């Protein structure tokens, strides 16, 4: 079968791919505070903020595989209140993370029976930031443009999601070899899946209707102690129980057709961070709260080992070779990468006192800055023409490298704001 598009693109930088896959696998499939189905639903909520159908479809399938209730896929109105309460922080983190306050954290931690624990909230925040940033990469590298099960962005439905390919270990040389050669066609797998889903759709249509009627009656009588904070103890371990939700009448695999059902306030989006010299409190100063000195220790204490994985990923992207890119810009590789990183953080109101921001305009040409801002702040507006237009003389691998910098810088920015708010609450 084909490797899906994220793995294909990141495969240009195998060491980073290895680190990314380990982190993704740990977040989604290893022991942690959150139930497995909830992890994938949180990923769906995060990807939907940027209208990233590619990631939504991937996690819809993984949600069902994890035993998730198919009814949740009807939208936020059908999920437990505890999970629905995460919507506000998801919205703010995705578009204007500087608006996160300790009050948002307090609200989630102190809502009677629907309250979150600190460990659960940290896990959720890391998931949200991870998926928001990954959506930027998906759009930035063109994975979304070729969405669908038969295109370049095809998902390996019959196998594991891309993070499971490593089984939690380092990425195998075989995986990388296949990736470099690209992959074989998956038409036979797709046809088989379509036939199976058509059959499931017919067989389960009547049974599902009866189940919903029975569920409505039970809910009317009250679920009492049998319902937990995540919305019940019943799980649908059989993937076929919900697959028909992903097939249209013609048997075409369509995935999530209406992403709007997974978010509220769809008009809420990025706005330029306006730094006012007379109001320095608006600016997030890394000297006061940094990943290395504050964020790492907090996240690692509340969600064991994730801090080490994230830190490795941040360091890995910083260590990628970019001599060709820097040479074309007439500067040292570290200077060029820092310019991109600090420009991204600047758009989110994060400032470094030891950096001269005049360098950004000298290092980054206008088209590159437009591309970076679009992919970072509103990736859903990115198109293939933008990708082709910036740095025509650069190799594809170098463009992927820029998108990896965007992914990691954006993720760290969101984490800094969220973790600072959690720290303020704890104080």
404: Cα separation from own chain's centroid = 13
For 179-191, the pLDDT digits (tens) are 444 333 333 334 4
Distance in angstroms (rounded) separating the CA atoms of residues 236 and 69: 6
Active-site residues, by number, are 52
Task: Name the nearest CA neighbour of 425 among 117, 81, 87.
Answer: 117
Q: How confident is the model at residue 352, as a pLDDT?
A: 95
User: Between these two residues, 176 and 47, which has the higher pLDDT value?
Assistant: 47
How many CB atoms are closer than 10 A to CB 344? Answer: 24
pLDDT surpassing 70 at residue 245: no
| Residues 418/421/426/427 CA torsion (nearest 10 deg) | 140
Question: How far, CA to CA in Å, does 335 sit from each of 338, 350, 352, 397?
Answer: 5, 18, 14, 19
Residue 107: burial class (beta carbons within 10 Å; 0-12, 13-18, 19+) = middle
Task: Name the nearest CA neighbour of 171 among 318, 11, 397, 396.
Answer: 11
Distance in angstroms (rounded) separating the CA atoms of residues 392 and 220: 62
Distance in angstroms (rounded) separating the CA atoms of residues 60 and 43: 9
Q: How confident is the model at residue 319, as a pLDDT?
A: 86
pTM of the complete model: 0.79
Task: Name the nearest CA neighbour of 359 among 381, 387, 394, 335.
Answer: 335
Distance in angstroms (rounded) separating the CA atoms of residues 268 and 248: 30
| Kind plus residue range of the DSSP H or E element containing 351 | strand 350-351
For 378-391, the pLDDT digits (tens) are 999 988 778 777 76
Distance in angstroms (rounded) separating the CA atoms of residues 24 and 127: 9
Across the range 332-343, mean pLDDT stands at 88
For 64-96, the pLDDT digits (tens) are 999 999 999 999 999 999 999 999 999 999 999
What pLDDT band is residue 54 in, cutting at 50, 70 and 90? very high
Cα–Cα–Cα angle for 199, 201, 206, rounded to 5 degrees: 115
Question: How far, CA to CA in Å, does 3 sit from each of 64, 157, 308, 390, 401?
Answer: 21, 11, 27, 26, 19
Asked if residues 86 and 94 have their Cβ atoms less than 8 Å apart, the reply is no
Q: How confident is the model at residue 149, as a pLDDT?
A: 35
Spatial neighbors of 390 by CB under 8 A, at least 6 apart, are 367, 368, 370, 371, 399
Across the range 23-33, mean pLDDT stands at 95
What pLDDT band is residue 218 in, cutting at 50, 70 and 90? low
Q: 3-state DSSP: the chain helix, strand, coil percent, rounded to 5? A: 65, 0, 35
**Nearest 5°: phi and psi at 253?**
-80, 115
157: Cα separation from own chain's centroid = 19
pLDDT surpassing 70 at residue 170: no
pLDDT over 90, % of the chain: 55
Token pair 């290895």 is found at 18
């Amino acid at each position: 079968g084909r490797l899906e598009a994220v793995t294909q693109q990141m495969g240009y930088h195998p060491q980073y791919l290895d680190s990314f896959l380990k982190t993704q696998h740990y977040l989604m499939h290893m022991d942690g505070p959150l139930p497995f189905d909830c992890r994938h639903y949180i990923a769906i909520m995060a990807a939907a903020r940027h209208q990233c159908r590619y990631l939504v479809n991937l996690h819809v399938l993984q949600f069902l595989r994890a035993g998730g209730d198919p009814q949740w896929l009807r939208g936020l109105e059908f999920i437990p209140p505890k999970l629905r309460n995460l919507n506000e922080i998801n919205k703010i983190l995705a578009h204007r993370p500087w608006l996160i306050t300790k009050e948002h954290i307090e609200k989630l931690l102190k809502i009677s029976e629907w309250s979150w624990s600190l460990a659960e909230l940290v896990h959720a925040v890391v998931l949200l930031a991870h998926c928001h940033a990954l959506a930027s990469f998906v759009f930035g590298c063109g994975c979304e443009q070729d969405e669908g099960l038969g295109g370049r962005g095809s998902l390996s439905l019959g196998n594991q999601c891309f993070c499971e390919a490593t089984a939690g270990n380092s990425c195998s040389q075989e995986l990388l070899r296949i990736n470099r050669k690209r992959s074989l066609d998956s038409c036979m797998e797709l046809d088989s899946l379509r036939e199976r889903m058509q059959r499931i759709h017919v067989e389960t249509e009547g049974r599902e209707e009866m189940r919903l009627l029975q569920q409505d009656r039970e809910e009317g009588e009250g679920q009492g102690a049998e319902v937990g904070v995540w919305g019940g103890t019943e799980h649908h371990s059989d993937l076929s129980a919900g697959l028909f939700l992903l097939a249209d009448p013609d048997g075409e695999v369509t995935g999530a057709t209406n992403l709007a059902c997974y978010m509220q306030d769809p008009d809420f989006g990025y706005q330029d961070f306006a730094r006012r010299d007379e109001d320095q409190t608006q600016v997030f100063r890394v000297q006061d709260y940094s990943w290395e000195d504050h964020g790492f220790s907090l996240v690692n204490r509340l969600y064991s080992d994730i801090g080490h994985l994230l830190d490795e990923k941040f360091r890995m992207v910083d260590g990628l070779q970019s001599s060709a890119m820097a040479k074309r810009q007439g500067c040292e590789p570290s200077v060029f990468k820092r310019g991109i990183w600090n420009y991204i953080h600047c758009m989110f109101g994060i400032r470094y006192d030891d950096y001269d921001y005049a360098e950004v305009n000298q290092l980054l040409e206008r088209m590159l800055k437009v591309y970076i801002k679009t992919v970072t702040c509103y990736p859903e507006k990115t198109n293939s023409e933008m990708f082709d237009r910036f740095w025509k003389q650069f190799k594809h691998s170098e463009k992927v490298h820029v998108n990896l910098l965007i992914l990691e810088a954006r993720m760290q920015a969101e984490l800094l704001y969220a973790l600072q708010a959690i720290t303020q609450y704890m104080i």
